[in-house]
Amino acid sequence: MSGSTKPTTTIEPRPQPGPAGAVDLDAKSLPRHVAIIMDGNGRWARAQGKPRVYGHEHGARNVNPIVTECAKLGIEVLTLYAFSTENWLRSKAEVEFLMGLLLQFLEAELPTMLANNVRFKQIGRREGLSPTVLEMIDRTTAATAGNTGLTLALAVNYGSRAEITDAVRAIARKVKAGELDPSAIDQGVISDHLFTAGLPDPDLLIRTAGEMRLSNYLLWQSSYAELYVADVCWPDFDVVQLHEALRAYARRTRKFGEVVEPRA
């Protein structure tokens, strides 16, 4: 991979078309929780003859307007897949670059989070992350803890199978210690031991770059999420694209296993 292992530019949100909040949706039609798989940074960069890190930088710039718009629309939770447990398999240079980009993003975006009443939360394993990254995560979490608007859950060092495995182990320890009766284990108990404990399940799961897979993301939580696949890569997923995904969600009839008459 060519390019520096450290971000070379300051993260600044790229311009977004149209006024924020300009979506013809009733508040009742909006999902409470939107989860996004931000896919296609590398492909976007290659299409322009640039190294993968160029795509990652532009992808990071694109987070701000999407978070800001979700906050203004009154969405409760936005979860972004930033770095998976499988991403450690990438080259050392790319991993170091991504960790540096995460640090830069959190430092640059804290004022915006505070201005927009956004609460920050990391979901994923802490083990494996450097002390510097953990310190920045903890600092951002503490600084925004009192905010009451949108919760921005950043999935860092996250994998759904690892999450479920950790939950099972934690429950097993409680059973072994006599703190939990096995007969009391239900879906609620399992949910309470996941990284997303306390958050509503995703209503809308968006994936960019046209890929049709979940990539080990929120497998338990997304059991009844509505799926929306955008053909554009993440750096090109703008507010207009977000609005279209929200409109598509509003047009759907959610059944949860029941027989429900379709909307007129």
Question: SS3 sequence, 17-40?
Answer: CCCCCCCCCCHHHCCCEEEEECCC
DSSP the chain: --S-SS--S---PPP-SS-TT-----GGGS-SEEEEE---HHHHHHHTT--HHHHHHHHHHTHHHHHHHHHHHT-SEEEEEEEEGGGGGS-HHHHHHHHHHHHHHHHHHHHHHHHTTPEEEEES--TTS-HHHHHHHHHHHHHTTT--S-EEEEEEEE-HHHHHHHHHHHHHHHHHTTSS-GGG--HHHHHHTSTTTTSPPPSEEEE-TT----TTSSTTTTTTPEEEE-SS-GGG--HHHHHHHHHHHHT----TTS--PPP-
Task: Mention the CATH class of domain 27-159+201-250.
Answer: alpha beta
Question: Domain ranges in the chain?
Answer: 27-159+201-250
Q: What values do phi and psi take at 121, rounded to 5?
A: -145, 135
| pLDDT per residue as tens digits for the range 203-259 | 999 999 999 999 999 999 999 999 999 999 999 999 999 999 999 999 998 877 766
Q: How far is CA 239 from CA 48, 73, 255, in A?
A: 22, 11, 28
Q: Which residues are the active-site residues?
A: 39, 87
**CA distance linking residue 252 with residue 179, whole number of Å:** 42
| pLDDT per residue as tens digits for the range 152-184 | 999 999 999 999 999 999 999 999 999 999 999
**CA distance linking residue 111 with residue 106, whole number of Å:** 9
| pLDDT per residue as tens digits for the range 69-126 | 999 999 999 999 999 999 999 999 999 999 999 999 999 999 999 999 999 999 999 9
